Structure 1
């Protein structure tokens, strides 16, 4: 009987091997997946899906979850995590908002891009000439260059694909390529615990600045007009914020750096506001006042430091103080409506509209945070909490060491290694 059992086992093993080698049926991937399945990303996840690689970015787009890898893009259903479609691409970005959002994809070192439906991957529009693309809630802006000094910016409606405006910009295309290349504006306050793009696309600013061989060309996006060309001095840096052109000056003298900020209104170039002694932290540490980075801030807000070491949040449009701190309080996250402030082990949510703190969390020593349209994400000690921005009410509170990649109206996507999970809000 023992030899008979061994014979059956041998026949079964040979049969399975033959079926697998001929492509009729291959159980080995399922078996291997079962063997290597990791534990849950977080307790109470609505669903968990093993990804085909390490994601570059993840976005919630309507009822779809878009995952960007280095050489491909995949879509999953938000309800159950079921794979929907996939496409070959080196980069992907989201444009539009809500049900009007689309997926924009392209390849590195290849001109052109594709606009795809997030639900089924259907092609909506294709371009074959653009070298760079910027994606916003209300526009897709692309850059095409026919020659060295013949470049053109064009804005498109994300949903309909209709052209909104187009304008010639000279030769700005040599240093700009792929999706959302850096422009002279503001940089987001980011943390390693949350993905840089967790907030999703922003509205298109009223003014956009584009670098061009040591100068900045300023475009009015209301109608697509070149309104100013600015060439900063060696001790200056330009940032286009809140419909203003900010000129940050950093002068080395007496063993220190002396800063000043002037905001002008193109095309008239009149001074709207000025701040002496305001440091927007545009200089790298130990750089002898050489300014190598954009000021931190949001769509219309900049973060600065006064000569006494107190942080201040300023409205970029009119120069008003939105919040003025003390030496012990720091800003850990901000957008145009709120800021998250930290002092010791306490986090506070500050509303610019109300001019006061609207929520508080204690016992969050070393916590980091990110602001999104749907929730404030607070991370500390393998714990992720989602709060409503206006009241601080808890929408989710889970124990996990996963990284939050995306936040939608009803939940957030967290990724640990190659495992992705949907954590629904209560």
Structure 2
């Protein structure tokens, strides 16, 4: 046969493609939609499979479970999806969003950057429940919503709202909140969370408001009672001090440079009198950098407790109200996560993690771990991550019982009373605690609705405050 005769491979491919295009154009046969569906087919992020998995329009900035919905914040919009099926319920243009309240009382707060005001939306319908046109900052909690509005730079009003309320619970005067428009949850002087890879820093959702909040204004700290709105103190830190409001106390944290070292001291002050209530020396709260002991960071901790390093290198958990050492680890152990109930601690050899009860030091449970194991504490579950192989688990904080165990490289984005949302890129999905995908959790008596928190699903354990001040006194009966 002569060289070069015949169509050759390229010729046959061109002929085949031309035939397919002609058939598609004439409506005889169109393979392109099927081919695109195959290319775009979603693979499950997890084994076992999820209750649902959906692709959203962009990488989420935050995800929060609000009652029966999942609220997803993206760069220029916010949307809500059904917790049961993952279907989109509504979408709004917004530059920022946050969730206040919990369960059926939750609301979504949205706003635009460089524009005053915000809207409070129903998480199920997206309908506006309340609109404000003047606020420059908003803070959201499980049981309260705060906003600040300023008629000029030194004349601001702080207002507290029930998340679904229509009238403020109280108002207070502040000589400013900062400069510019601050959007949602600008920094207050409190604790910063211990964080880890593959677990979102806001995985626990909104926290309950603390008894006192510290607002930084022009180098001073204004201490506000969140029950009444009363401004209790207006304090300027010393040259070597950093102030923080934790556990119902104003903390003065001193870092003094001497002989090439930093020397630390912590003083807890009464919120009304300013008198010293407790004092600890030598514990490094990691507020200072290595250059001259300048304190630029809030101390690590959560709710009413702080995490620091004792002079001998062991980590310590401190009660912010009375200064007690609630836990001191052994040499080489590391605190991975903490709230005011438990601390999750990795052993010195990295082979196990355990939950320690604060105050008593009792070990609630142990679990095998690796050197890169991470953890986070939420009101409903302890989230634990492992690498090589990639794992993600949700555990009962009290017993260590597995509520969900996944083989996945996805991140934990949000935890609710009956399950958690995980995500990877633009994909998000929901796993239910206590049962296989699509099945309600079970106990010895049969199915239990996931939203009730019963049937082996741990109830949220919110703090009543260091001296029970956040919880109503028990009704002793009549």
TM-score when normalising by structure 1: 0.93
Q: Does 1:255 align with 2:231?
A: no
2:366 aligned residue (357, 360, 364): 360
- Could you tell me how far 1:306 is from its partner in structure 2? 1.4
2:400 aligns to what SS in structure 1? Answer: coil
Q: Does 1:71 align with 2:76?
A: yes
Aligned CA RMSD, in angstroms, stands at 2.1
Structure-to-structure mapping, 1:266-305, within 5 angstroms: 266-284=271-289, 286-305=290-309
The CA distance in 2 between the partners of 1:151 and 1:29, in whole Å, is 58
- Could you tell me how far 1:32 is from its partner in structure 2? 3.8
Kindly provide the CA deviation profile for residues 214-256 of structure 1, in whole angstroms up to 9, marking residues without a partner as x.
1111111110011111100121100100110000000111110
Aligned to 1:314: 318
Looking at CA atoms only, which structure, 1 or 2, has the larger radius of gyration? 2
* 4+ runs deviating over 3 angstroms: 6-9, 27-34
Aligned to 2:111: 106
1:10 aligns to what SS in structure 2? Answer: helix
2:206 aligned residue (195, 201, 206): 201
1:60–1:408 CA contact under 8 A, matched in 2: yes
More deviation, 173-182/183-192: 173-182
2:116–2:181 CA contact under 8 A, matched in 1: no
The CA distance in 2 between the partners of 1:249 and 1:336, in whole Å, is 24
Structure-to-structure mapping, 1:238-249, within 5 angstroms: 238-249=243-254
Kindly provide the CA deviation profile for residues 148-195 of structure 1, in whole angstroms up to 9, marking residues without a partner as x.
211110000002333111001012231661111111100001112100
2:306–2:318 CA contact under 8 A, matched in 1: yes
The CA distance in 2 between the partners of 1:205 and 1:322, in whole Å, is 19
The CA distance in 2 between the partners of 1:14 and 1:135, in whole Å, is 58
1:145–1:173 CA contact under 8 A, matched in 2: no
Q: Does 1:138 align with 2:131?
A: no
Q: Does 1:369 align with 2:369?
A: no
The CA distance in 2 between the partners of 1:334 and 1:176, in whole Å, is 32
Q: 1:166 to 1:13 in 2, by over 3 A?
A: same
Kindly provide the CA deviation profile for residues 329-368 of structure 1, in whole angstroms up to 9, marking residues without a partner as x.
1100011111100112210011226531101102433200
2:327–2:359 CA contact under 8 A, matched in 1: no
Q: Does 1:120 align with 2:125?
A: yes
Aligned to 2:440: none
Kindly provide the CA deviation profile for residues 127-168 of structure 1, in whole angstroms up to 9, marking residues without a partner as x.
111111000011110111001211110000002333111001
Q: 1:40 to 1:244 in 2, by over 3 A?
A: same
Greater share of strand:
1
For this pair of structures, how many residues does the alignment match? 413
